[in-house]
Chain A
Amino acid sequence: MWGYVGRRLLQLIPVFFGATFLIYFMVFSLPGDPIAALFGERPPPEAVIQTIREQYHLNDPFIVQYFYYVGGILTGDLGTTYSGRPVSDLLVQAFPITFRLAMLALAFEAIAGILLGLIAGLRKGKFFDGSALVVSLLLISVPTFVLGFILQYVFAIQLGWFRTTVSAGAPLGDLVLPALVLASVSFAYIVRLTRASVSDNLGADFVRTATAKGLSRRRVVSVHILRNSLIPVVTFLGVDVGALMVGAIVTEGIFNINGVGGTVYQAVTRGEGPTVVSFVAVMVIIYMLANLLVDLLYAALDPRIRLAK
């Protein structure tokens, strides 16, 4: 097993360079001159623009810019934003907050989603199943920018159960409401996935066997049905970790969270190569670790599965 993990970790290296190269190229091909746009509709003298372009190597060809960046990384320098802040400061500021938010959302969608999906699957076609469908439909059809706005208005402004926006330092209590909003669509997916798997497995031989063995219903459901239904759900959760982190642009905006999504969004619209690339590089690593974890969990969930061939 450790050999397998080791090999997977080694794959990080080519992926890291592949991803940074690709992203740098994409940022490079963004339309418009990022430096000219820094000044809004008040262009400074051309000299000022040239000086800044020189400072960020923007007059060099793409490949040269990329090597400046990689060279910087190797010496521990991730570059600076156009406002002169070290990108490493932004990383240290944004990732912990986003990570807590994403974990909270993940916990919520995993626990509530699996539970609801399980009950719906066991009672397929019954009232509960129907209600679960309606709830999932609602969550799918209402965009986050509407749902977040409504939940914020009702639960934070009208009822006062939560703080309207996340205060400095992003304490966990403030993150509950944003996490709920962030988790909503994935929650619908988890409910649907669990329900489908559970209803598939209801008639499986091992379930009949377990029931025939005289195991309690509770044990049949929790050990045999649920465990065998979790593989697609776990896969989905693994993929979702990243989506929750970088895809939180809208949620972060509504609740004023200084997280990864908003930072990357801003850096993209400003054409700030080093910032975008550094964040994406960290995201790639998180994806790979999450997916590694999922692959290891496969073997834990289903003893027949062998990973390394």
Chain B
Amino acid sequence: MRFNRIGTAAVGLGLATALVLTGCAAEDDTASTSAEGIITTNGSEPQNPLVTTNTTEVGGGKILTSIYAGLVSYDAAGEISNEVAESLETDDSITWTVTLKDGWTFTNGEAVTASSFVNAWNYGALITNAQSSSYFFDNIVGYTDVNAMIDDPAGTLDEDGSVLQVPAPTAETMSGLTVVDDQTFTVELVAAEADWPLRLGYTAYMPLPEVAFEDMEAFGENPIGNGPYMLDGEGAWEHDIDIDLVANPDYAGERVPANEGVTMRFYATLDAAYADMQGGNLDVLDAVPDSAFETYETEFDGRTANQPAAVFQAINIPQYLEHWTGEEGELRRAAISRAINRDEITEFIFQGTRTPATDFTSPVIDGYSDELEGAEVLEYDADIAADLWAQADAIAPYGDTVFDIAYNSDGGHQAWVDAATQSISNALGITAQGKPYPTFADALTDRAAGTLTGATRAGWQADYPSLYNFLAPNYQTGAGSNYEGYSSEEFDNLLDEGSVAPDVETATGFYQDAQEVLLKDLPTIPLWYANVNGVWGDQVDNVVFGWDSVPLYDEITKG
């Protein structure tokens, strides 16, 4: 068969036109132009629908803290003040009576009552709702009932051949939460906790209106809050593009916006966001990509921020590795710690956008210290490092084993890992190198399964400004993020004593003692605190970054 040439061309043209037409159909989507008084800033597409008890990542968190007001709120320094709460009272740090202020409403007109909080918390804790923040309620009496699991009655086996566990709550609500009246509820904790109110500004503790519980997923697309901002109508959240927030006229708190609203544009890469900042398409950028570390302060002269944030970065060397247990392990960990030149790496790789670590928390947290006993182990000294290493070799020779640091290569860690391993190689004369995993999931699996072959990068960004939040989840025996399985009775006891201490000052003392235990054992080797690096345009003023690295949007003025 011979083709008719004109026919063929026509087919080709037809196909092409059809494809181009479908391509153009999406173009009616008009670009959102920033109105006067609306601040444009960077964000990232929230991982989940915007539900307060199911958001643990930064992209969604930034939005939720803007559209909700909790019992307390944090100022720039991380100090709490009552927001919706009139008072938080307790005699024993176990039973807390929460009284709410009058006059708070959600943007749909519903009043914010004790039930708004209690129902939201119960929803978050109930296992069948599978909320990622459910463990924030694990210190409330009754949590184990709503979060219970049993062996699968059907006998399903998981990959390892053990019987799968399935959710089987024995109660729908936590018995520790009691609504007294519209303005009052009581909370009974499992154990005393003097600084419990410190947590309450975290997104998981926000109130939710009645309408949320009808269909939480749909609610998460157009959440209704009681915060300084609210979504700009239905569909304000354009997936993968941006979210439009406008000032909430009925907001009853102290964080009254000095602007008309905030538009957060979502970026997949920080480089693109920075380019938009340079191109004048953004007013505020709350992070700087490493390609601009050297230049951002001259480029945005006088309109930059570079201050420590509540982000702690470290490497962990698991206890289960040969050569890394007992006295030998203790010596080797100290040697590695003293072999890493933190000052040089923060200066030359990070261009001063990291601050060398002196403890296990962060300088923005009350109770941070650079005078802990034993903190000299965090100072670089190649000679002492080599000496410690030699002492360990006397116990059992290390040989030619390669010392590797595992990291996920999709997170921009290569430069500092390379620098750190180089520093270790130079000081100890061993082969040290980075071990990249293609994805975060891959790296996490080896950590969780305890199958690492060397050290691993580790990091922690605080959920709420307290020493406890840095220490308990990471180093307490059996704690969730204690992947490398550190266990120390002395540390656990000090942590417990800190949490039942009658006041925050006493608690801080215990927490600092606990960190001195960590400095001896070095389950993690502190490296540095990540700074918050921000830049802003000449259209805006009064840009201040909070303890959580997020700008205080409500204080920014424009025009």
Docked complex: A126-172 residues within 8 A CB-CB of B: 149, 152-153, 156-157, 160, 163-165, 167-172
Q: Which chain B residues numbered 424 to 467 have a C-beta less than 8 Å away from chain A? A: 437-445, 448, 458-460
A74 contacts chain B at the CB level, 8 A cutoff: no
Which one of B19, B31, B278 contacts A168 once the chains associate, using CB atoms below 8 Å? Answer: B31
Complex contact B165–A46 (CB within 8 A): yes
Query: Given A171, A252, A299, which contacts B268 in the complex, CB threshold below 8 Å?
Result: A252
Closest to B159 in A: A59
- How far is A41 from B437 in the complex, measured between Cα atoms in Å? 15
Is the beta-carbon distance between A253 and B8 smaller than 8 angstroms? no
Within 8 Å by CB of B444, from A36, A92, A165, lies A36
Beta-carbon contacts of A168-202 to B below 8 Å, as 1s and 0s? 11111000000000000000000000000000000
B217 touches A84 (CB 8 A): yes
9-residue interface stretch from B100-108, B234-242, B386-394, B513-521: B234-242
Chain B CB within 8 A of A222 CB: no
Contact (Cβ within 8 A) A93 B240: yes
Binary contact readout A99-122 vs B (1 if CB under 8 angstroms, 0 otherwise): 110010000000000000000000
Is the Cβ of B130 less than 8 Å from the Cβ of A52? yes
Contact A100 B275 (CB under 8 A): no
Chain A residues within an 8 Å CB radius of B35: none
Q: Is B9's CB under 8 angstroms from A167's CB? A: no
Decide: B5 and A299 in contact? CB cutoff 8 A: yes
Provide the A35-46 mask, 1 if CB < 8 A to any CB of B, else 0: 011111111111
A1→B7 CA distance, assembly (Å): 9
Chain B residues with CB under 8 Å of A3's CB are: 1
Identify A85's interface contact among B3, B12, B239, CB under 8 A: B239
B49 contacts the other chain (CB 8 A): yes
Interface string of A271-309 (1 = CB under 8 A from B): 100000000000000000100010011011001001110
Docked CA distance A156–B131 (Å): 43
Given known A52-B130, A256-B276, contact A47–B147 (CB-CB < 8 A): yes
New A-B contacts (12) at CB < 8 Å, excluding given A50-B167, A100-B23? A44-B131, A44-B133, A45-B134, A46-B165, A83-B49, A103-B19, A149-B271, A164-B276, A171-B31, A269-B438, A269-B440, A299-B2
Proximity string of chain A (63-83) to chain B, C-beta cutoff 8 Å, 1 when within and 0 when not: 000000000000000000011
10 residue pairs, one from A and one from B, having the closest CB atoms: A32-B441, A164-B279, A37-B441, A169-B29, A96-B26, A299-B3, A32-B442, A51-B130, A256-B272, A99-B23
Chain A minimum-CB-distance residue to B448: A36
Q: Which residues of B contact A84 (CB under 8 A)?
A: 48-49, 217
B127 proximity list for chain A (CB < 8 A)? 45, 47-48, 51
Does A31 contact B23, Cβ atoms closer than 8 Å? no
In the complex, the answer to whether A254 meets B481 with C-beta atoms within 8 Å is no
Indicate whether A24 reaches chain B with its CB closer than 8 angstroms: no
A205 proximal to B (CB < 8 A)? no
The reply on B252 being an interface residue by CB < 8 A is: no
Q: Is the CB of B441 within 8 A of A33?
A: yes
| A301: min CB distance to chain B, Å | 9
Interface residues of A in 6-38 (CB under 8 A from B): 30-34, 36-38
Residues from chain B with a CB closer than 8 A to the CB of A255 are: 272
A78 to B253, CA, bound (A): 44
Residues of A within 8 A of B132 (CB): 38-39, 42, 44, 48
Contact status B444-A37, CB under 8 Å: yes
Give CA–CA (A254, B28) in the complex, Å.
24
**CB atoms of A157 and B149 under 8 A apart:** no
Q: Is B15 an interface residue (CB 8 A)?
A: yes
- In the bound complex, do residue B444 and residue A33 qualify as a contact, i.e. CB atoms below 8 Å apart? yes
Task: List the B side residues contacting A89 at CB < 8 Å.
Answer: 239
* Residue A246 lies at the interface, judged by CB distance under 8 Å to chain B: no
Nearest chain B CB to A154 CB, angstrom units: 12
A165 touches B279 (CB 8 A): yes
**A168 touching B238 in the complex, CB below 8 Å, given contacts A1-B3, A5-B11, A46-B165:** yes
Least Cβ–Cβ distance between A30 and chain B, in angstroms:
8
B267 is an interface residue with CB less than 8 A from chain A: yes
Q: Chain A residues near B443: list those with CB within 8 A.
A: 32
**B3 and A34 contact, CB distance less than 8 A:** no
Q: In the complex, A299→B10 CA distance in Å?
A: 13
B473 within 8 A of A: yes
Please give, as numbers and ranges, the residues of chain A lying within 8 Å of B5 by CB-CB distance.
299-300, 303
Whether B156 is near chain A, meaning CB under 8 Å from some CB there, is yes
- B267 close to A256 (CB less than 8 A): yes
With A43-B481, A85-B239, A165-B272 as contacts: A270 and B441 at CB distance below 8 Å: yes
Give residues 243-272 of B contacting A (CB, 8 Å).
Answer: 267-269, 271-272
Minimum CB–CB distance for A148 against chain B, Å: 10
- Given A1-B8, A85-B239, check contact A157 B19 (CB 8 Å): no
Question: Can you list 5 A-B contacts with CB-CB less than 8 angstroms, sorted by A residue number?
Answer: A48-B132, A83-B49, A84-B217, A96-B24, A171-B27
Contacts of B156 in A (CB 8 A): 59
Complex interface: chain B residues within 8 A of A33 (CB): 441, 444-445, 448
Cβ-defined contact, B1 with A4, below 8 A: yes
Tell me the B120-138 residues at the A interface (CB within 8 Å): 127-128, 130-135
The distance in angstroms between the C-alpha atoms of A258 and B7, with both chains bound, is 37
Tell which of B15, B23, B149 has the most Cβ of chain A within 10 Å. B23
CA distance A269 to B276 in the complex (A): 26
Task: Kindly state the separation between the CA atoms of A277 and B439 in the bound complex, as whole angstroms.
Answer: 19
Of the residues A42, A59, A171, A269, contact of B480 by C-beta under 8 Å: A42
Query: Nearest-CB distance from A8 to chain B (Å)?
Result: 12
The answer to whether residues A296 and B135 also contact, given A96-B22, A156-B275, A165-B281 and a CB cut-off of 8 A, is: no
Distance, CA A172 to CA B242, complexed state (A):
19
- Of A32, A256, A262, which is within 8 A of B445 by CB? A32
- Quick check: B8 and A48 within 8 Å, CB to CB? no
B38 to chain A, nearest CB (A): 14
Contacts of B80 in A (CB 8 A): none
A97 located at the interface, meaning its Cβ lies under 8 Å from any Cβ of chain B in the complex: yes
0/1 interface trace, chain B 159-177, chain A, CB 8 Å (1 if under): 0000011110000000000
Min Cβ gap B169→A in Å is 9
Chain A residues with CB below 8 A from B445, complex form: 31-33, 36
Rounded to whole Å, the gap between the CB of A67 and the closest CB of chain B is: 18
- Given the interface pairs A47-B149, A156-B275, the reply to whether A256 lies near B269 with Cβ below 8 Å is yes
Report A244 CB to chain B, min CB distance, Å: 13
Q: Note all chain B residues with C-beta closer than 8 A to A50.
A: 149, 164-167
Contact of B11 among A149, A172, A262, A296 (CB under 8 A): A296
Known A-B contacts A89-B239, A253-B271; the reply to A157 vs B130 at CB < 8 A is no
Query: Inside 8 A of B149's CB, which chain A residues have their CB?
Result: 46-47, 50
Q: In the complex the two chains form, is B31's CB within 8 Å of A256's CB?
A: no
